[in-house]
Amino acid sequence: MHFLQRVFVFGQEHQLQNVAAGQISATSTDAVNGSQLFSIALQVSALWTDLASITSDQQRSRRRAEIPP
């Protein structure tokens, strides 16, 4: 903890660069790096797009079901 107190002083922010990828799990206490965050952001964006498409398809199907022949 002493290291972090010296590095992270309010008003004197620094970047930690060339940080190895941390373990990502429910029990991990590792830090994650920028490339790991970017990868997760891409996956979330893709899932969000898929969800929006599915929701849109369902809404169109409901509208078609409501229109009498």
Q: What is the pLDDT of residues 16-58, one digit of tens each?
A: 888 899 999 999 999 999 999 999 999 999 999 989 888 887 7
> Are 34 and 22 within 8 A, CB to CB?
no
| Band (1; pLDDT cuts 50, 70, 90) | very low
Bridge partners (DSSP) of residue 11 are none
Give residue 18's region: left, alpha or beta (phi > 0; psi -120 to 50). Answer: left
- From the list 16, 11, 12, 8, the residue with the least C-alpha distance to 34 is 16
